[in-house]
Structure 1
Amino acid sequence: MSTTAVAPLTTDEADALVLAARRAADTAGVPVSVTVLDAGGHLLAFRRDDRAVLISGETSTRKAYTSLQLNAPTADLVDLVKPDGPFHSLPTALDRPLLFIAGGVPIHRDGRLVGALGLGGGAPEQDHGIATAALQAL
């Protein structure tokens, strides 16, 4: 077992992720909200495009939180909460708001979870694609 410390996600990195996500969203022609959380679920960066629907701010944050808590892209979790899925009751079982819609991705450094990125405002596939593209900038 390795006890080597992994550097936490920095505000500069969070800002770079927001910028990369906004560039990808602009290229796709999709107005979005972008949320970056640290490993503890605390907000590091947030940005809502002027033209993004207001609810996208909430959905981007919930997608990031869900991805962080389950250490998985929310796109990979959608089927798990369907009526016959093993996580069927999870969205309503906890006090914290989880959102099982594509657009949230965990952020890893040296194989360790250091945060999460959430996108809202486009179709779920668009949000996931933009989030994935933004991670490439880190």
Structure 2
Amino acid sequence: MATDTTTLTTADADRLISAAHHAAGEQGVTISASVLDAGGHLLALRRDDRALLIAGETSTRKAYTALQLGTSTADLVDAVQPGGPFHTLPTALDRPLLFIAGGVPIHRNGRLVGALGIGGGTPAQDHAFATTALAELV
């Protein structure tokens, strides 16, 4: 049976979650990782036992932000600062966006199919764990 390369599957989500947790574990960082499909629906979430409780929420919001804007949250941090083009965006929508590094969109065959968000480490660590996990999906 041929694999549909235009969607994100639960098996893909499991691979992303495992890869992110492995990358974080190698650095001794406890995280939460969330994967959303193209519709913004949660496919998978796993929070390390000792990760901060808020990490589950931040990982999901980072993924949602990356999905809605089609770009890495690391690339959006400056855009929401005073004077930035998206300065009012964080408060303009019903569902809150989170402009902290750690969310990355997932593309397949040029199509946005979902997003991965990591919370629990520093913003730079979360972004690195997300991009490392994303590389495993290719």
8 A contact 1:64–1:117 mirrored in 2: yes
Residue of structure 2 in register with 1:32 after alignment: 31
Tell me by how many angstroms 1:6 deviates: 4.9
Equivalent in the alignment of 1:52: 51
TM-score, normalised to structure 2, is 0.95
Identity of aligned residues (%): 72
Deviation at 1:97, TM superposition (A): 1.1
2-structure distance, mates of 1:104, 1:61: 9
C-alpha RMSD of matched pairs (Å): 0.9
Q: Which runs of 4+ in 1 moved over 6 A?
A: none
Q: What's the counterpart of residue 64 of structure 2?
A: 65
Asked if the contact 1:119–1:128 (Cα under 8 Å) also holds between the matched residues in 2, the reply is yes
Unmatched runs of 5 consecutive residues or more in structure 2: none
* Residue in 2 that maps onto 1:90: 89
Superimposed CA distance per residue, residues 47-86 of structure 1 (whole angstroms, 9 cap, x where no aligned partner)? 0000100000000000000000000000000000001101
Could you list the per-position Cα deviations for residues 99-128 of structure 1 after superposition, in whole angstroms to 9, with x for gaps in the alignment? Answer: 000000000001110000000000000000
Distance in 2, matches of 1:62 and 1:136, equals 21
Number of residue equivalences = 134
Aligned to 1:102: 101
- The residue type paired with residue 47 of structure 1 is R
Cα distance, 1:7 vs structure 2:
2.5
Give the whole-Å Cα distance in 2 for the aligned partners of 1:136 and 1:72: 16
TM value normalised by structure 1: 0.95
